[in-house]
Amino acid sequence: GAGVSQSPSNKVTEKGKDVELRCDPISGHTALYWYRQRLGQGLEFLIYFQGNSAPDKSGLPSDRFSAERTGESVSTLTIQRTQQEDSAVYLCASSLAGQGNGYTFGSGTRLTVV
Amino acid sequence: KNEVEQSPQNLTAQEGEFITINCSYSVGISALHWLQQHPGGGIVSLFMLSSGKKKHGRLIATINIQEKHSSLHITASHPRDSAVYICAVLSSGNTPLVFGKGTRLSVIA
């Protein structure tokens, strides 16, 4: 596609439920990143993929968070047993392999846990 | 100390003013990004720099690698420039960006 697409754009879920967030990167971008931005705070790194493998998972805040990527394309970020502190905008970005350029962000998924 | 420091944190300007936002970083980098985030959360990449200067419309970005410093300038500012401007650095290859905390700009008509 022309840009990085994320779905859903908004998600309201009850505490304790699982949610799945989806990211479709730009075609040909082998690097894919997930970031999180809580209300009024800066961006924080969660995980990045090179191809289908995740060399750096250091930002995942707890074992309730997991992510996968298939076909060097779509990635899903899963949050199990959601908590109110998980409420945030989850942003996905992709870039060309081996380069710092072409970094493109999706418009994010706004997750609200009630 | 954060690896990426931005100043000022908040900036209010009158329409037409020349605006400068500064970014200093403490690590070696391969590239620096300036990002714009409007209310609602969408992020747009404005520039990626590894040296020198880039210009796009009313926006100018400069970087001094030796001094580990970059500036984003907005000429003839307009209320639609109101947004959070974020500096982010890339240390190498595909490593994640390290973000500054952002500068919230409000341009008043």
Tens of pLDDT, residues B28-39: 888 899 999 887
- Residue A102's pLDDT is 66
> How far apart are alpha carbons A47 and A23 in whole angstroms?
13
- Residue B73's pLDDT is 98
Q: Which residues of A touch B4 (CB under 8 A)?
A: none
> Comparing C-alpha atoms, which of A12, A7, A23, A34 is closest to residue A84?
A12
Q: How many angstroms separate the CA of residue B45 from the nearest CA in chain A?
A: 7
Q: How many angstroms separate the CA of residue B90 from the nearest CA in chain A?
A: 7
Contact (Cβ atoms closer than 8 angstroms) between residue B91 and residue B27:
yes
Contact (Cβ atoms closer than 8 angstroms) between residue A106 and residue A42:
no
Q: Which residues of B touch A93 (CB under 8 A)?
A: 97
Q: How many angstroms separate the CA of residue B34 from the nearest CA in chain A?
A: 11
> How far apart are alpha carbons A7 and A9 in whole angstroms?
5
pLDDT for residue B83 is more than 90 = yes
Q: What is the pLDDT of residues A34-45, one digit of tens each?
A: 999 888 888 888
- Residue B39's pLDDT is 78
Nearest to B43 among A59, A97, A105 (CB): A105
Best residue of A35, A43, A101 to probe chain B, by most B CBs closer than 10 Å: A43
Q: What is the pLDDT of residues A47-100, one digit of tens each?
A: 989 889 988 888 899 999 999 999 889 999 999 999 999 999 999 999 876 555
- Residue B27's pLDDT is 82
Contact (Cβ atoms closer than 8 angstroms) between residue A18 and residue A81:
yes
Q: Which single residue is written with the structure tokens 């076909």?
A: A71
Best residue of B2, B48, B97 to probe chain A, by most A CBs closer than 10 Å: B97
Share of chain B above pLDDT 90, in %: 70
If you ran DSSP here, which 8-state letter would residue A62 be given? S
Nearest to A42 among B94, B96, B99 (CB): B99
> How far apart are alpha carbons A110 and A108 in whole angstroms?
6
- Residue A86's pLDDT is 96
**SS3 (DSSP) at A13:** strand
Binary contact (A31, B94; C-beta < 8 A): yes
**SS3 (DSSP) at A92:** strand
User: Does A56 lie at the interface with B, CB-CB under 8 angstroms?
Assistant: yes
Q: Average pLDDT of B66-82?
A: 96
Catalogue the E-assigned strands of B39-97. Answer: 43-49, 52-56, 59-64, 69-74, 83-90
Q: How many angstroms separate the CA of residue A72 from the nearest CA in chain B?
A: 15
Phi, psi of A93 (to 5 degrees): -140, 155
